[in-house]
Amino acid sequence: MHQIRLINTEELFHCHTGNSLLEGMQRLARKGIPVGCRGGGCGICRVQVLSGNYHCKKMSQEHVNETDLKDGIGLACRLYPESDLDVTVLGLKSSKKRL
């Protein structure tokens, strides 16, 4: 069980080991992170981890590129906490263009 702190709203919730950050939040009916497809496709749940350890499952490069990954940016529905985390909620990339 890990404690997650959302910096934007100062919300705290606990996430079970093996649950994604988004699942952990939804289990407690919290709403700090926007919820969309829950499958790494829509990018609405984009967050930046400021401290703590985690791993990510496959995510769309459209929403999270190599530079983002180095900056701790990931999709909450594909991000699995391995320790307590401090997280900033980013949401959809504002510069995102669809062709």
Q: Is 52 in the site for ligand FES (CB under 6 A)?
A: no
Euclidean distance between CA atoms 2 and 13, whole angstroms: 8
Euclidean distance between CA atoms 14 and 37, whole angstroms: 22
Q: Is 38 in the site for ligand FES (CB under 6 A)?
A: yes
Distance of CA 69 to the CA centre of its chain: 12
Tokens of 17: 């080991």
Closest approach of ligand FES to the CB of residue 91, in Å: 11
Scanning 1-9, 37-45, 49-57, 87-95 for contacts with ligand FES by CB under 6 A, the matching segment is 37-45
Q: Is 37 in the site for ligand FES (CB under 6 A)?
A: yes
